[in-house]
Amino acid sequence: MARLHLHLLSDSTGETLEMIAKAALAQFEGAEIDRHFWPMVRSQQHLDRIMGEIVRNPGLVLFTLANAEIRERLENACHEAGLATVSALDQVTRSLSSLLGQEAHARPGRQHKMDEAYFARVEAIQYTIAHDDGLLWEEWEEADIVLAGVSRTSKTPTSIYLANRGYRTANIPIVVESPPPPALFGLRRPLVVGLTTSADRLIQVRRNRLLSLNQTPETDYVDQERVNKELKFARRMFADNGWPVIDVTRRSIEETAAAVINLVNERRGALSKANPGPKPV
């Protein structure tokens, strides 16, 4: 299979383009892709500087450009070079414009403006980093989510992903020889979620981790009997406390986080029905 050059042009950070490209490429197994990332393209001069590189590496040009003149210049240049272009958000924007009855604002990076939600995400990330791996358990009541699981069940990366979605997330490793602090079992505000996985998958992940650290992969850390005991201990704890459990064996970090968010929303919906508040007079 020939390699494909994929050019991602954005007038902002390019995060949206990267997510779209990642989701689309996941549908093609074994595709060999060379990505060329061009963020913050906000002037014709900037576009002209990078067009030479694009022409030298012909492929698909995927873009999100709010400025009509820059966009037209890009499309014309690519047409002359025989390159295909795709505007990633056109169809969605047109549909929304039709349904809402208003024109879209052509403002670069509008989704990244520093509003209240932006600062809430920053605060969530700071909280999550500070409360990783069982740290500062005295402040867990301030969390939105607490993830619990044995070592290498993707607690930290899932926590960071959730933080980027605005959820203050703490996590704690479940260790047979070192029970968690009693505070974990008395939490009221945060949703505690247990993460588990298959023993075979966990051993594989742990063995790869040891090898990456140039350590011997033959220790109790990857012993089949020991791992089974750890997982059984954690599952019993989850069941005894009525915590929802997510099996991460075949889930990506994004899929695990989505499942956690669904649990949070379900819990909020249940609480809202249980406490509907005063009826309007």
Residues 6+ apart with CB under 8 A from 221: 151, 206, 210
pLDDT at 187 over 90: yes
CA atoms within 13 A of residue 45's CA, in its CB half-sphere: 0
pLDDT at 109 over 70: no
Say if residue 18 is in the same domain as residue 152: no
Q: Which residues line the annotated binding site?
A: 149-156
Between strands 169-173 and 145-149, the pairing is parallel
Structure tokens at 124: 């969530």
Task: Answer yes or no: is 280 within a domain.
Answer: no
Look up residue 115 and give its DSSP letter. S
Tell me: the pLDDT tens digits for 201-234? 999 999 998 998 888 888 899 999 999 999 999 9
φ, ψ for residue 227, nearest 5 deg: -65, -45
Q: Specify the 3-state DSSP secondary structure of 62.
A: strand
Say if residue 84 is in the same domain as residue 163: no
Q: Is residue 164 within 8 Å of residue 125, measured between CB atoms?
A: yes
Least Cα distance to 65 among 38, 45, 84, 83 occurs for 38
Number of domains in the chain: 2
Tell me: the pLDDT tens digits for 50-61? 999 999 999 999
pLDDT higher at 173 or 121: 173
Say if residue 59 is in the same domain as residue 176: no
Residue 52 lies in domain: 4-110
pLDDT higher at 93 or 53: 53
pLDDT at 86 over 60: yes
The residue ranges of DSSP E strands in 156-279, in sequence order, are 169-173, 191-196, 245-247
Task: Answer yes or no: is 73 within a domain.
Answer: yes
Residue 130 is predicted with a pLDDT of 93
Say if residue 197 is in the same domain as residue 263: yes
Q: Which residues line the annotated binding site for ADP?
A: 149-156
pLDDT at 119 over 90: no
Confidence of residue 110 (pLDDT cuts 50, 70, 90): low
pTM over 0.75: no
Burial of 63 (C-beta count, 10 Å sphere; 0-12/13-18/19+): buried
Residue 106 is predicted with a pLDDT of 56
Say if residue 83 is in the same domain as residue 171: no
Q: Average pLDDT over the chain, rounded to whole? A: 88
Domain boundary among 74, 92, 110: 110
Domain boundary among 87, 110, 133: 110
Residue 280 is predicted with a pLDDT of 44
Task: Answer yes or no: is 281 within a domain.
Answer: no
Task: Answer yes or no: is 279 within a domain.
Answer: no
pLDDT higher at 278 or 123: 123
Least Cα distance to 61 among 43, 74, 48 occurs for 74
